[in-house]
Structure 1
Amino acid sequence: MKSFVTPLLTSAALTLFCFPSFALAQANSATDIDALVGAYHQTYGFTGTVKVVQGDQPLYEKSYGLANRSFAIENTPTTRNSINSISKTFTAFGILLLVENGKLDLHKSIGTYLPYLTADWKETVTIHHLLTHSSGLPRESGVQAHDELTLKQQVMRLVDQQTLLFNPGSQYGYSNSGLIVLGALLEQVTGKDYGAYITEQVLQPMQLNNTGYYRGRNVVDRQATPYRMSSTGLEFAQRSKHYGGNAGGGLYSTPSDLYQYVRAIESNQLLSAETTALLFTPHIHSGETDAEGYAWSIKKFGDETLHFAAGSGYGTKSVMIRAPESKDFISITSNWGNTPILNMLADIYLTLKGQSITPPDANQLAKPQDFAKQLGSYKFDPEQLKMHIGMDGDTVTLQAFENKLFLNDELMAAKGADVIGLTYTDEFRVQFQGKQMLIQINGNELRGQKVDD
């Protein structure tokens, strides 16, 4: 279920990487990072693997929690997880291989290569626009979770019917629709399906033995089961956002393989240095200090430039950053959809740089035993929920899991006597009066009535 506080969560996430300039101190030991990651495990229930490299020397790698809760199978460094939108970087690399071989021109229109396109924009949108998320295509295509459409079918049935939101190249606008087109382009030009091309031309030459491409519902060895909290309790989740061709989020990997992937890119063994540089060139601004390369984001952390890629699915999250000058690297893969992975990444990075951070504290969480009488579902005015917290439906559920308190899928913190709220903001608070739940957000109060058992 969609988080009922998405606007607040998005706002918080966007501020995570706006650090002021600071002098880099000597990095703390792996012990400090271990304590930090352990705090995320204890507080937020993080499950997955973290890998940290300093100056191209391994510093820390550890797995937490269960890959499969039904059979109590633990996560390990070789457990595979969906990497969701990090897959886009593999698609971009595959496109550049064809560019370097003279089979594609970055600045030719997509209609040059896909004769079945009929949309007006086929002659104005270029491969460059698609790689930089500046095509003007909408964020989503309309593909559904149960769909098993090929990439060509997705283009013809969905993307070809879409209209542009802005003129190509005029601004940044993240677009999964654009990656569908790029995947179909790879297939059209090579005569191979996307997964076969990426496997043969990228994964195998780079010897990424724990990285692969999902094919429908086919079983993957050592694949972690994705989990998430929902309004009805703990759920296992779909490993990718749909079962069809997926050039924007269809790969799985491990943090160690992602590090090997980055090293392979930097080695220039498959692409020339000149072509590789296009991946990390700031082609278009996407924020005050952020820019977009080809499927990679270029971010500034103080005086340091970082190459950033991240992904999020129904029950999985993944992220990696590479500092090309210091040769530092951090990657996290998680099969717990409620992991605050961007906060976690930022804290690990600052710890690596010797900065002081305040780790998560499980003692700040609300205790289920203190709200035992309030556990259950509450009915609200659906228009009020939609207006103030972006939630569809009319029911909010207070529930306990692993000795933690959740409001729908959001972990609750103690905010005072008989008051709970979100862990990352004070703008959302919850109190109870008899059988009523009172939600206070941005000066507004919403009242819900408890549903009798």
Structure 2
Amino acid sequence: MNAAHYLVLGAIGLLAAAPTDDPPPFPSATPASQGMSSAALDELADTVRGYVTDEVIVGGELLVIKNRRIVLHEVFGDLDRDDEIAWEKNTICNIRSMAMCLTGAAAQILIDEGTLGIDDAVAKYLPSFNNDTSRDITIRHLLTHRSGLPYRLHTRRFARRESMREIANLAGERGPDFPPGSKFQYSDASSEVLGAVIEAVAGVSLQDFIATRLIEPLRMNDTFTYADVDDPRSERIASVYSGARNNWTRIWNPRDKTLYPSTTTSQNLHSTPIDFARFLAMWMDNGWVGDMSVMSFDAVKRMLTPVSGIDDMPNGFAGTTVHYGQMAILLMQENASEGAAPVLIGHSGSDGTWAAAWPELDLMILYFTQSRGQGTGTRLEFTIDELLINPRPTQLVVEVPEKYKPYVGVYVANFAHFVDEPFTVTIKNGRLAVDIPSQLVFELADPDENGVWQFTYTDEIAVSFERGAGGNVELMKIHQAKNFFEIPREGTALAAKMAAAGKVSKKEAAIYVGRYYHPERETDIEVLYIDGRLHIKVPDGRFGLLDPDKDGRRPLRANPTTQVSFQTDADGRVISMTRTRDGTDLVMPRVNVEYDADGN
């Protein structure tokens, strides 16, 4: 699902799970005994294995449960590539926005108990909303992401992040971007405000309320808000990586200080595929777990009733449309009648976690990674649909229409986070399409009078092609907003030139490698030498540098409008790095520089 709509929450706090002798929640069974194809499941697993081989993800876990029986449970790649730790079953992941499902469920419990009104004004519970801009925002608006509040209000530095109540107060004082209720806008801020309301109504912390009313009854013993390196479960937590294919950087590991010291509803809940499957199963059972009611039938129905259509969210399941309910992503059958039940319920998280359930099929599929910034979860939807949901016969070789033949081929991307990534121009559903391995296959509308081919799923991205001196198509350009990115055809001189951009020798790079103090972030950042290029590593990622201009400024590959340059002392030793952005310089002095007896 689209990164712009990923979701998450923070829940059970620092409670260490006690050992349990509970029987497995989902016993294992053969695929055939549950009416499933072993070959199809093997192919599904091979698809994820291919993501690791192609370095589209660092590692991950795939769980398929049919009729409450595990028919596939496999792991791939590494839990931590830097430390060479393999991914194991039931590795714990930060599920980020998926946690909103639990926040929403907590609110529904209070609504059923009569202590929270779904159409009450938020101002009834939070005085900071009692002003002209925010007074009309209701609890329903928060649950459905129709409050008008922005995507995020967090401060830049996690270490200084406000409490959930402080974030809610900031949101109330800021106000909505548009009249509440008028349209859908995914918003972490809405979720944080809802969490603050729950705390005000329940009289306890959100993490304690969710722990008592959801986590414990569901026996989700590996679901918790991580903040303590001494928690015995910390050894099973996956490190978080950010980047893209062939360009992954570890930005956090469980031995580091937590990035999220306070509970939020969209950032710091950790869980496992099996634990989250327990929650999905409760949804499918209308709020019941065995003979215990965790949520009412009406509460579950409120969450799983579609409210807003989301036209710009990619979807791999044929014949369905994407909707949002009350803290839940739903897929509806196309042209479904009013009151129809969703065919799929679930959520995703932006650190690379996906969870989906098909109630009518009694099927759950959960795919967890900790590789932030890739779209394999949505890409996997197409494979799941073709193999398991709407099986299709093996497709024969597609004949390329004559008008598309000049464009079909492989183009090599070296821009933003893409490093030597092959973008394949191919045919899908009779249209020209661009296959981006770390994302999706994007179909293109036929070109307009200017030769621009629009992406069919969004009007914000398009491509165009240029021919070389010999008349052959040698370049594809991606147009996004006011920018365009050149992607040369494989084997051309331009492809070789762009692949070599930013390359420096180890000797040349050595004088720049080291740590520099970033005064805005109030932390050190690093300059590294990796795969023949200089890179800047910051807490949330790694950015390659391109060749310097005549003034010695090196553009960031991910954003060429930002450049860095290095300053030296009288002896030629690097003493600082300067970032130039929007005409403003930020000087970052070098730290911990040591020289040997020869001044090296």
Within 2, Cα distance between the matches of 1:300 and 1:52?
Answer: 21
Residue pairs, 1:222-237, within 5 angstroms: 222-229=236-243, 233-237=247-251
Shift of 1:296: 0.5
| Residue in structure 1 matched with residue 139 of structure 2 by the alignment | 127
Q: Which deviates more, 114-123 or 146-155?
A: 114-123
2:386 counterpart of 1:350: yes
Q: Which residue is equivalent to 2:195?
A: 183
Query: Contact 2:244–2:417 at 8 Å: present in 1 too?
Result: yes
**Higher gyration radius (CA):** 2
Q: Distance in 1 between matches of 2:436 and 2:225?
A: 36
Q: 1:230 to 1:429 in 2, by over 3 A?
A: farther
The one of 234, 256, 269 equivalent to 2:274 is 256
**Which residue type is aligned with residue 228 of structure 1?**
S
**2:245, 2:68 → 1: CA distance?**
43
Pair 365,149 (structure 1): closer, same or farther in 2 beyond 3 Å: farther
- Percent of residue pairs bearing the same amino acid type: 19
C-alpha displacement of 1:150: 0.7
2: CA distance, partners of 1:296 / 1:58: 24
CA distance in 2, matches of 1:178, 1:160: 10
Deviations 1:91-140 (A, max 9, x none): 00011111112210111100111124344244311111100011111222
* Structure 1 residues 153 and 56: CA distance shift in structure 2, 3 A: same
Alignment of 1:272-421 (within 5 A): 272-287=296-311, 289-300=321-332, 305-312=343-350, 316-337=351-372, 338=374, 340-353=376-389, 354-355=391-392, 398=414, 408-409=417-418, 412-413=421-422
Cα separation, 1, equivalents of 2:150 and 2:201: 24
Equivalent residue pairs, number: 382
1:28 aligns with 2:37: yes
Measure the CA separation in 1 of the matches of 2:193 and 2:277: 27
In the aligned structure 2, how far is the partner of 1:172 from the partner of 1:129?
A: 9
C-alpha distance in structure 2 between counterparts of 1:244 and 1:84, whole Å:
14
Greater length-normalized contact order (CA 8 Å, ≥ 6 residues apart): 1
TM value normalised by structure 2: 0.56
Instruction: Say yes or no: does 1:69 pair with 2:105.
Output: no
Q: Deviations over 1:321-361 (max 9, x none)?
A: 11111111111110122352211133124311223578xxx
Residue ranges of structure 1 left out of the alignment (5+ in a row): 1-8, 14-25, 359-363, 372-396, 399-405
2:323 and 2:332 in contact (8 A); partners too: no
CA distances 1:32-66 after superposition (whole Å, capped 9, x unpaired): 32223223332344311111123333221111111
Spell out, residue by residue over 1:297-331, the C-alpha distance to the aligned partner (whole angstroms, 9 max, x if none).
2213668711131110xxx2111111111111111
Counterparts of residues 52-201 of structure 1 (less than 5 Å): 52-146=64-158, 147-156=160-169, 158-201=170-213
* Partner SS state of residue 133, structure 1: coil
What is the CA-CA distance between 1:226 and the residue it aligns to? 0.9
2:584 corresponds in structure 1 to none
The residue aligned with 1:23 is none
Is the 8 Å Cα contact of residues 310 and 323 (structure 2) preserved in structure 1? yes
Amino acid at match of 2:348: A
Counterpart AA for 2:106: G
Q: 2:52 aligns with which of 41, 45, 51?
A: 41
Post-superposition offset of 1:431: 12
Q: Residues of 1 paired with 2:208 and 2:466: CA distance?
A: 51
Kindly state the Cα deviation for residue 230 of structure 1 after the two structures are TM-superposed.
6.5
Asked if the contact 1:366/1:412 (under 8 Å) is kept, the reply is no
| Deviates most, 176-185 or 269-278 | 269-278
**Over aligned residue pairs, what C-alpha RMSD do you find?**
3.8
* Contact preservation (8 Å) 1:422, 1:428: no
Q: Give me the whole-angstrom Cα distance separating, in 1, the residues matched to 2:346 and 2:277.
A: 13
Q: Deviations over 1:137-195 (max 9, x none)?
A: 12222432423321011122x31232322222222111111111011111111222222
- Is the CA contact 2:149–2:189 (under 8 Å) kept in the aligned structure 1? yes
2-side partners of 1:334 and 1:226: how far apart?
9
